[in-house]
Amino acid sequence: MDRIRIRGGNPLNGTIPISGAKNAALPLMISSLLTDDQLTLENVPHLADVEQLIRILTNHGVDYTVAGKRAGQSTASGRTIHFSARNIVDTVAPYELVSKMRASFWVIGPLLARMGRAKVSLPGGCAIGTRPVDLFIDGLRKLGATIEIEGGYAIADAKGGLVGDRFVFPKVSVGATHVLMMAASLAKGETVLENAAREPEVVDLANCLNAMGARIEGAGTATITITGVSQLSGARHAVLPDRIETGTYAMAVAMAGGAVTLTNTRSALLDTALGALKDAGASIRDTPEGIHVTRNGGGIQPVDVVTDPFPGFPTDLQAQFMGLMTRANGTSHITETIFENRFMHVQELARLGAKISLSGQTAKVEGVPVLKGAPVMATDLRASVSLVIAGLVAEGETEVHRVYHLDRGFERLEEKLTACGADIDRISS
């Protein structure tokens, strides 16, 4: 099993290209099930989760081709992939595929809307919390679907087609917003989603669906209105930049010091997180290429943050920010409001010398002057990269094990950091 080795102490200087967003690419790929025309997606990242979803889509009968590189494109350029779901041959998403990636459950919306039926395995447990699918099922039932849970599967039926209605999310859910927006695009009449997720990835999906002929208004606000159409066509759409990757590398620079330009991204995607970074002592400015990040000479200052749905501080940056705060000149408090078990990285950071105590959903982080390298273990995708951030400044050598978590959401991480001066490499077993 691969592991990543880091020898800390090097500042970061140079350029890091930001990849397409995993959290946008996955629903965009799933939306290919809504049309029998070709959907072309540009800037698709090279990630394990993307490859897994391709396997799931091909199981339903989706054909795909990957376009080759064009003149002037670098290895940092995302892929262009053409998806064609002209013939959906199977509306069953089996456990052995869905269990490997929770987002694959989202196929239930497009399959139900286009084919009138779907049998999708429940995704099962998750390392960072229960993450139930009740909002997906309640919303689809509101659109007229009959859904029964049998043998670990959601068996859905809408033979007469879905019918638009008003659905109020009892709590904000990005995944359920994606699914209901896709399903309602082919429903009869108007659907109104209230208390909908406002994340940039929701806006990106709405933009793609509208390019395919959908009629969606209000994406990016708490109320989304979808007027159903009888069919959708193909389209060409570029996946938006990954704001979580952007924030992660910005935090890495704030931790290690130096000066890095993050290209192919934009600050508007994560204003709250960048604001917290500025409070911590980072200098951040927009450039024509993207975002320039440096750390001022005053060290890292403690900052309290509370995770919240967009436009709040992202839960997917909580672990990384905690890694940064382990070296702050004082005490910070980090409160997690989205997932109940998203502090599993605390014990691993403690192995590097971090001083962190937990009280309910709040972590008290007392900054220490020195972290020391040690073997640590990744427990989930975002937790794993927090260990890399800490390892960048830890004395000696840090080895991060179980890096398959990293490969799910960070494209060529060690290559990008090495190009900016980090002493980091991958060791294959």
Angstrom CA distances, 21 to 26, 55, 90, 274, stand at 9, 19, 28, 17
Average pLDDT over residues 414-429: 95
Task: Look up tokens 């919390």; give the residue.
Answer: 129
The owner of tokens 């490969």 is: 407
Lowest mean pLDDT among 70-79, 153-162, 186-195: 70-79
**Among 24-38, 63-77, 284-298, 347-361, the least confident range:** 63-77
pLDDT digits (tens, 9 = 90+) for 204-229: 999 999 999 999 999 999 999 999 99
Which residues fall within 8 angstroms of residue 210, CB to CB, at 6 or more apart?
216
Q: What percent of the chain has pLDDT over 70?
A: 96
Mean per-residue pLDDT over the chain, rounded:
93
Helix residue spans in 212-292 (DSSP H): 243-256, 271-279
User: Does residue 158 share a domain with residue 278?
Assistant: no
**Structural tokens at position 253:** 């620079």
Q: Report the CATH number that the domain containing residue 307 is assigned in CATH.
A: 3.65.10.10
- Same structural domain, 404 and 333: yes
Q: Which of 187, 207, 238 is the last residue of a domain?
A: 238
For the stretch 170-180, pLDDT in tens is 999 999 999 99
pLDDT of residue 405: 83
Domain count, the chain: 2
Q: Are residues 211 and 272 in the same domain?
A: no
Q: What are phi and psi of 239, to 5 degrees?
A: -65, 135
pLDDT tens-digit series, residues 225-245: 999 999 999 999 999 999 999
The answer to whether 120 and 98 have CB atoms below 8 angstroms apart is yes
45-83 burial, b at 16+ Cβ within 10 Å, e below that, comes to bebbbbebbbebbebbebebeeeeeeeeeeebbbbbbbb
Query: Residue 155 burial by CB count (10 A; 0-12/13-18/19+): exposed, middle or buried?
Result: middle
As given in the structure block, the two tokens for residue 143 are: 């659109």
Mean pLDDT over 193-201 rounds to: 98
Looking at the structure, do residues 54 and 203 belong to the same domain, yes or no?
Answer: yes
Neighbours of 357 (CB within 10 A): 11
Q: Residue positions in the annotated binding site?
A: 22-23, 102, 131-135, 171-174, 316, 338
CA distances from 292 to 182, 258, 422 (A): 36, 11, 18
Q: Are 388 and 332 part of one and the same domain?
A: yes
Span 182-199, average pLDDT: 98
**Residues 120/105, Cβ–Cβ less than 8 Å:** yes
CA angle 277, 307, 218 (to 5 degrees): 100
Q: Check: CB of residue 201 under 8 Å from CB of residue 21.
A: yes
- Structural domain ending residue among the three candidates 177, 205, 238: 238
Confidence of residue 269 (pLDDT cuts 50, 70, 90): very high
390 phi and psi angles, rounded to 5 deg: -65, -40
Is-catalytic flag, 126? yes
Is 371 found in the same domain as 273?
yes
CA gap 116, 132 in Å, rounded: 23
With a cut of 70, say whether residue 248 has pLDDT above it: yes
Cα–Cα distance, 335 to 229 (Å, whole number): 42
User: Does residue 56 sit in the same domain as residue 128?
Assistant: yes
pLDDT score for 128: 33
Q: Which two tokens stand for residue 5?
A: 């080795």
Do 266 and 213 share a structural domain? Answer: no
Q: Is pLDDT above 50 for 382?
A: yes
SS3 for 122-186 is CCCCCCCCCCCCHHHHHHHHHCCCEEEEECCEEEEECCCCCECCEEECCCCCHHHHHHHHHHHHC
Please give the annotated binding residues for phosphoenolpyruvate, written as ranges.
22-23
As a whole-number percent, the residues of the chain with pLDDT over 90 amount to 85
Which of residues 190, 220, 238 is at a domain's end?
238
- Rounded Cα gap, residues 131 and 95, in angstroms: 17
Range of the domain at 76: 22-238
What pLDDT is stored for residue 344 in this prediction?
86
pLDDT of 11 over the 90 cut: yes
Binding residues for UDP-N-acetyl-alpha-D-glucosamine, by number, are 102, 131-135, 171-174, 316, 338
- Which residue shows structure tokens 């990269």? 385
Label residue 161 by pLDDT band (50, 70, 90).
Answer: very high
Q: Is the pLDDT of residue 102 over 90?
A: no
Cα–Cα distance for residue pair 241/330, rounded to 1 Å: 33
Q: Are residues 188 and 335 in the same domain?
A: no
Between CA 174 and CA 420 the distance in angstroms is: 34
Assess whether 8 and 55 both reside in one domain. no
Q: Compute the Cα dihedral for 39, 84, 21, 214 and give only its sign.
A: positive
pLDDT of residue 359: 95
64 versus 133: the higher-pLDDT residue is 64
Based on the fold, state whether residues 380 and 396 are members of the same structural domain.
Answer: yes
Does 343 share its domain with 199?
no
Catalytic entry in 67, 89, 126, 149: 126
